[in-house]
Amino acid sequence: MDLTDRRLLREPADPAPRRVANRELQLLALSWLAPVGILLIWEAASRAGLITAQVLPAPSSVARTAWNLISSGELPKHLGASLLRAVAGFAIGGTIGFILGVLVGFSRVAEALLDRSIQMIRAIPSLALLPLVIVWFGVDESGKIFLVSLAVLFPIYINTVLSIRQVDPKLLELARVTGLSRLETVRRIILPGAMPSILTGVRYSLATAWLAPVIAETIATTRGIGFLAMDAREFLQTNVIILTILIYAAIGVGPTVLPGIWNAVCWPGIQITRKGAANECA
């Protein structure tokens, strides 16, 4: 071993990655501070009698209700039905939205043919479509999945179109100078450069896919979190209503995490700069 190798062995490791990791852990803990604090204050106010149980049950009471519903099998049944509708609607609507977004993003002719109609449909409230959906699909699962798919389609479509149109022109010029083919330009320049905006659409669509069944489950159904909340309203079961709200809030955290994990797994060699340009890691 020569002198250079010994000097390299004695050099301390770069502490920057460790500092960044510690910083991320601190920010993660800080992000949960407010929700946990709200629950603690809520519990204390309920125990002190400042909030009546009929208006807002204590978190401990809601937790007992959750445990009872889990033990009886009611909550898993309703939760599974809602998740199945959300997943099916997200898969169908997300696929259609992405394909339409790619077509409109790359083709001005497709934009002229499709974009105005899509934007007009996007402006129609889901509640206004309920009577027509019942006429088309009846009261079975297909109508509910249709509503979820329709709600999911638009965020992914809009973000896909904008992300393709807003790729840095300098990167496209670089692709032309280096002689990349059209396919290689799409694979190595456009898709990585568009990925941050597409993932934003995916994140929003995941939340929409989970919230859309609330409206869809008002169509003659006996299963689902939306049905559970509506049924609890009829019997003034405030603790069950609060439980369904907390379930929506808890699962709503997923859309902020899953797209980042997907990006890290599927695009491990891509670093996204603040300007949205994509660089391949060495």
Q: What's the token pair of residue 183? A: 């396919």
Kindly give the confidence (pLDDT) of every residue in the chain, 282 residues in length, as a single tens digit, with 9 standing for 90 and above: 554 555 444 545 555 667 766 776 777 778 778 888 888 998 898 888 888 878 888 888 899 999 999 998 888 998 888 888 889 999 999 999 999 998 998 888 988 999 999 999 988 888 888 888 888 887 778 888 898 899 999 999 999 998 888 877 777 777 778 777 777 777 777 877 788 888 888 888 888 888 887 777 777 677 888 888 888 888 888 889 999 888 888 877 766 666 555 555 555 544 443 333 334 333
Q: What is the pLDDT of residue 156?
A: 92
Q: What is the pLDDT of residue 263?
A: 55
What CA–CA distance (Å, rounded) separates 225 from 228?
Answer: 5
Q: What is the pLDDT of residue 157?
A: 93
